[in-house]
Structure 1
Amino acid sequence: MVLEILVREDSNQYIHHDQLFKQLLHTFFSEFLEAFFPEVHRNIDFSSLKPLSEEMFIDLIEGESRRADIILETKLKNQETLIIIHVEPQSYGQPNFNERMYHYFSLLYNRYRKPILPIAIFSYDQKRNEQNQFTVSFSFFHVLTFQFLMLELKKMNWRSFIHTNNPVAAALFSKMGYTEKEKVQVKKEYLRMLVKMELNSAKAELINGFFETYLTLNESEEVQLMEEIKQLDKQESEQIFKLPNSWREKGIAEGIQTEKKQTALEMLREGLSVELIAKITKLSRNEIEDLRDTL
């Protein structure tokens, strides 16, 4: 069995995106299959899982190089099997994608001569309307129908994975189908999952780095997130605030600044001078004068 991620090396942004997926799937291959392809997961012998060397293929039609960044071999019910997982991390669809999948399937089969289970992961924002197959036929004869498993993240309901405690599902919340109004809730539920999974620091950083690359909150959304976390169970909220996340550090800084301004307002109401308030709170004179104008 082989897990393969195919990379189109046409831009630095694309390569960076693919590297995130590559690292995520390398680290959590079993969890990935468990979350999105449970039937495949049930039939794999993970004790026989081993990495193979990278492969380089040349697209003879377009003259492009494609590298198979991840190739893992394992057994499927005592049978050596080759699996191709093709991650498509572009923000736009590729023409003739199904034919490309068949092309790389053929190249790998010619090399290894083992059964192959191809899987495509679509992570771009647009939803596909194509079927997951490539067909060669004539009016007088049907030659073949090639099919592959596929995961379309934008069609996935993130709420369906809240209680799975699956690290890959948590990371991929950021690429699933949520609305702008749901962003704060998505991140809150992601953080709750991250706490419950109790990952080591390295794995937690990997999951968090992936998530924050694709789901970012503006300042008002960050404040809303902080307030909603404070309303959770005390033990759970404390655990979340212990996470080494950039949002938390930003939130703490914003919280300190808010407290300073609240203190300054109280001092202004007591009639203290701007100079004294600035000395105590470390706020600038202009900030304090702006606060005075609001009284």
Structure 2
Amino acid sequence: MYFSLLYNKYRKSILPIAIFSYDGKHTEYDQFTMEFSFFHVLTFNFLMLELKKKNWRDYIKSDNPVAAALFGKMGYRKEDKVQIKLEFLKMLVRMQLDPARTRFINDFFEQYLKLDDEEEEELMQEVNRLESEGEFKFTQLPNSWEERGVRKGIERGIERGIEQGIEQGVTKVVLEMLKKGFTNDVIAEVTYLDQEKIEELRETLQ
């Protein structure tokens, strides 16, 4: 057992704590017993921490790196996810850990709590608001966070570029069809463009 190995190495008092991080709530016991019908081998007692029975809000002011890393395994509602991530980032900034530890805790946290694209967008808006108000300097966050923000920006730029390219292509097709005398109804049927937009393009040819 790790307890025995640590004690044999350091010869210091060790407080054993079992942390349960499963998704649901279970009934656990704070004692482990090993015995046979003819012989009692050992009884091992330990403190027990069931994360799902803990409320994440109770730890947001603790600035405890372990608590921060385990936020995503504590009890919370789905609608709290963005707020949890924001409070976690605030804790990282306040704790002022070295970059390696900050990155390690951030990576650990993100294994447990993942945001979808819409939630990420909501989070980024809140981060930008706090930065603009001078409440926090999120530039102190790990590189992975900065890279994610840059990557999201690039992805959005690419998507917007594709959309603009498609729009320009459709516009070019419509203009050619108008020059050749096609009616608005036919153009709308072919390009799925609304009549108002087609009429606007027709006016540019006059």
Q: Settle same-fold status: TM greater than 0.5.
A: yes
Deviation at 1:130, TM superposition (A): 3.3
Map 1:70-109 → 2, pairs under 5 A = 73=10, 80-81=12-13, 83=14
Map 1:125-144 → 2, pairs under 5 A = 125-133=23-31
With over 3 angstroms needed to count, the CA separation of the structure-2 counterparts of 1:186 and 1:160, relative to structure 1, is: same
Q: Distance in 1 between matches of 2:9 and 2:91?
A: 28
Residue 288 of structure 1 aligns with an amino acid whose one-letter code is G
Aligned equivalent of 1:288, options 130, 144, 165: 165
With over 3 angstroms needed to count, the CA separation of the structure-2 counterparts of 1:257 and 1:130, relative to structure 1, is: closer
Percent identity of the aligned residues?
48
- Residue 86 of structure 1: aligned partner: none
Q: Distance in 2 between matches of 1:229 and 1:257?
A: 19
Correspondence 1:252 to 2:150: yes
- Residue 176 of structure 2: aligned partner: none
1:266-289, Cα deviation, whole Å (9 max, x unpaired): xxxxxxxxxxxxxxxxx24x5432
1:241-276, Cα deviation, whole Å (9 max, x unpaired): 4423434423333335557878xxxxxxxxxxxxxx
Deviation at 1:214, TM superposition (A): 1.4
Q: Distance in 2 between matches of 1:71 and 1:188?
A: 42
Correspondence 1:186 to 2:84: yes
Residue 63 of structure 2 aligns with an amino acid whose one-letter code is N
With over 3 angstroms needed to count, the CA separation of the structure-2 counterparts of 1:261 and 1:198, relative to structure 1, is: same
Q: Distance in 1 between matches of 2:123 and 2:2?
A: 37
Question: If the length of structure 2 is used for normalisation, what is the TM-score?
Answer: 0.64
Correspondence 1:218 to 2:116: yes
With over 3 angstroms needed to count, the CA separation of the structure-2 counterparts of 1:253 and 1:146, relative to structure 1, is: closer
Q: Secondary structure at the match of 1:151?
A: strand
Q: Is the 8 A contact 1:165 1:196 kept in 2?
A: yes
Most deviating of 240-249 and 162-171: 240-249
Q: Secondary structure at the match of 1:191?
A: helix
Question: If the length of structure 1 is used for normalisation, what is the TM-score?
Answer: 0.47
Q: Is the 8 A contact 2:68 2:88 kept in 1?
A: yes
- Residue 18 of structure 1: aligned partner: none
Hey, which bits of structure 1, 4+ residues long, moved more than 4 A? Answer: 256-262, 290-295
In the alignment, structure 2 segments of 5+ residues that lack a partner are 35-41, 171-192, 198-206
Deviation at 1:232, TM superposition (A): 1.5
Higher helix proportion, which one? Answer: 2
Q: Secondary structure at the match of 1:169?
A: helix
Q: Secondary structure at the match of 1:150?
A: strand
CA RMSD of the aligned region, Å? 3.6
Q: Distance in 1 between matches of 2:8 and 2:94?
A: 30
Provide the aligned length of Structure 1 versus Structure 2. Answer: 165
